[in-house]
């Protein structure tokens, strides 16, 4: 029978695309599996990881079970070693048409954002980009709205069904929208790296994982691009997402860029963290794009987030407002960053930061 994406009842199970680069599974996959596990539990269905690659270590495949996968569909083929849109789209669409999952999550990496839309267009289904919250259970969705919106939840009627409710920022983060894809399957969404939290690794889960080798039908003639080179940046990238403490700089360092970054580095090192930044600094070329926090940068949830000379534009807040403790230093007392800050100091960062560094050093030394 031909594949029919509107026969919604025929689809079952939650899938996560587990992206690998150079044979290593990307950490975004673990975040999505952790999230997918909750959805699969609420639906009472299986959670499956989908891995495309060449000769991936079995340990790596098993480890996906440690993050919640019941089963791993492993597509092993020489032409899947390095990502190409054509090869990956074909293999994934073939598999979806065969197995029919109801939900399919993809990390919103530079590759996931290339693959997701191409697959959704071929499968004739919807795709929601950059989701920040996912629910299937209406009661849980209502709880979510109660804490995050001004909607009068108790006096609003919600249709009772298990459609995937995909919440994402809209219009540059000025609004939140919950999107559904009620008529077609799979319901697809991409999720930015760092948005979902990885659950603790479970050895027992890893041991139980079922690995199913998929019979990949792929030929050179299916691929219409030629990858001539894959080049990694020479410099080691900053691990913002995994950091416990992030000290970020904004345009407030414009007076003395080098000095400002140096202060941030020093404060970060005293606190045991890394340096982040607003987009303004990245656009100005003061710091590498890997440092950017925010809607078009990285989403971080550190224990401590320090904002030095950052105004707190909504797109920046989108990437850091869930940090546990936010400390903001800004000259302007009406800067919006103070609306989300746990502690705010109205002052010149070049004066305040050195004092902070000194006081924290002293406090640590006293312990």
Partner 1 sequence: MKAIVCVKQVPDTSGVVAVKEDGTMDRAAMATITNHDDLAAVEAALRIKDATGCKVVVVSMGPPPAEGMLRELLAMGADEAVLVSAREFGGSDTYATSQILAAAIKKIGVDDDDIVFCGRQAIDGDTAQVGPQIAEKLGMPQVSYVAEINVEGKAVTVKRLLEDGYMTIKVQTPCLLTCVKELNDARYMSVGGIMECYQKPLEVYNYETLKDDPLIDVTTIGLKGSPTNVYKSFSPPVKGAGMMMEGADKATVEKLVSILNDKHII
Ligand X SMILES: Cc1cc2nc3c(=O)[nH]c(=O)nc-3n(C[C@H](O)[C@H](O)[C@H](O)COP(=O)(O)OP(=O)(O)OC[C@H]3O[C@@H](n4cnc5c(N)ncnc54)[C@H](O)[C@@H]3O)c2cc1C
- Binding site residues, ligand X, CB under 6 A: 172, 250-252, 278-280, 292-297, 309-311, 313, 315-316, 319, 329-332, 335, 348-350
- Give how many residues touch partner 1 by CB under 8 A: 90
Tell me if residue 302 falls in helix, strand or coil: coil
Q: Which of partner 1, ligand X, none lies near 332, with the C-beta cut-off 5 to 8 A by kind?
A: ligand X
What's the min distance (Å) between Cβ of 173 and ligand X?
Answer: 7
Q: Which is it for strands 304-308 and 343-346: parallel, antiparallel or unpaired?
A: unpaired
| Single residue of 139, 197, 237, 239 touching partner 1 by CB under 8 A | 237
Is the C-alpha dihedral spanning 53, 54, 59, 61 positive or negative? positive
Strand partners, 210: 71
* 286/336 Cα distance (integer angstroms): 23
Among the listed ranges 48-56, 64-72, 124-132, 247-255, the one in contact with partner 1 (CB under 8 A) is 124-132
What's the min distance (Å) between Cβ of 253 and ligand X?
Answer: 7
What's the min distance (Å) between Cβ of 244 and ligand X?
Answer: 21
Q: Which of ligand X, partner 1, none lies near 297, with the C-beta cut-off 5 to 8 A by kind?
A: ligand X
* 98/14 Cα distance (integer angstroms): 14
Show Cβ contacts of residue 232 under 8 Å, excluding neighbours closer than 6 positions: none
* 359/352 Cα distance (integer angstroms): 11
53 touches 25 (CB < 8 A): no
| Single residue of 160, 224, 258, 365 touching partner 1 by CB under 8 A | 224
* 310/328 Cα distance (integer angstroms): 8
* 38/191 Cα distance (integer angstroms): 15
**Per-residue binding letters, 22-61, with partner 1 (x by CB under 8 A):** ----------------------------------------
CA 22 to chain centre: 20
**Per-residue binding letters, 87-116, with partner 1 (x by CB under 8 A):** --x-------------------xxx-xx-x
What's the min distance (Å) between Cβ of 220 and ligand X?
Answer: 39
**Per-residue binding letters, 154-173, with partner 1 (x by CB under 8 A):** -----------x---xxxxx
CA–CA distance from 319 to each of 247, 315, 344 (Å)? 13, 7, 19
What's the min distance (Å) between Cβ of 259 and ligand X?
Answer: 10
């Amino acid at each position: 029978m031909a594949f029919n994406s509107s026969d919604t009842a025929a689809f079952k199970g939650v899938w996560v695309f587990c992206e690998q680069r150079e044979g290593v599974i990307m950490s975004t996959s673990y975040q999505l599996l952790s999230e997918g596990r909750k959805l699969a539990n609420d639906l009472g269905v299986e959670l499956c990881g989908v891995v495309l690659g060449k000769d991936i270590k079995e340990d790596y495949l098993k480890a996906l079970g440690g993050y919640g996968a019941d089963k791993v569909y492993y597509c092993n083929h020489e032409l899947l070693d390095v990502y190409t849109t054509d090869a990956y789209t074909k293999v994934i669409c073939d598999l979806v048409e065969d197995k029919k999952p109801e939900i399919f999550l993809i990390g919103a990496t530079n590759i996931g954002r290339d693959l997701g839309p191409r697959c959704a267009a071929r499968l004739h289904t919807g795709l929601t980009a950059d989701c920040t919250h996912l629910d299937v259970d209406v009661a849980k969705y209502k709880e979510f709205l109660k804490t995050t919106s001004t909607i009068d939840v108790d006096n609003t009627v919600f249709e009772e069904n298990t459609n995937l409710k995909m919440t994402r920022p809209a219009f540059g983060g000025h609004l939140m929208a919950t999107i559904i894809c009620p008529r077609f399957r799979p319901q697809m969404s991409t999720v930015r790296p760092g948005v979902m939290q990885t659950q603790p690794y479970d050895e027992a889960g890893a041991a139980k994982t079922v690995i199913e080798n998929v019979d990949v039908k792929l030929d050179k003639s299916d691929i219409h691009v030629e990858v001539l080179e894959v080049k990694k940046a020479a410099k080691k990238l900053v691990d913002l997402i995994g950091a416990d403490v992030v000290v970020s700089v904004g345009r407030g360092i414009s007076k003395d860029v080098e000095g400002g970054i140096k202060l941030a580095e020093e404060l970060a090192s005293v606190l045991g963290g890394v340096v982040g930044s607003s987009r303004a600094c990245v656009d100005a070329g003061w710091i590498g794009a890997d440092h950017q926090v925010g809607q078009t940068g990285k989403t971080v949830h550190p224990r401590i987030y320090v904002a030095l000379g950052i105004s707190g534009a909504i797109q920046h807040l989108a990437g850091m407002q869930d940090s546990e403790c936010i400390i903001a230093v800004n000259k302007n007392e009406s800067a919006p960053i103070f609306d989300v800050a746990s502690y705010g100091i109205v002052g010149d960062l070049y004066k305040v930061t050195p004092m902070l560094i000194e006081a924290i050093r002293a406090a640590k030394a006293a312990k």
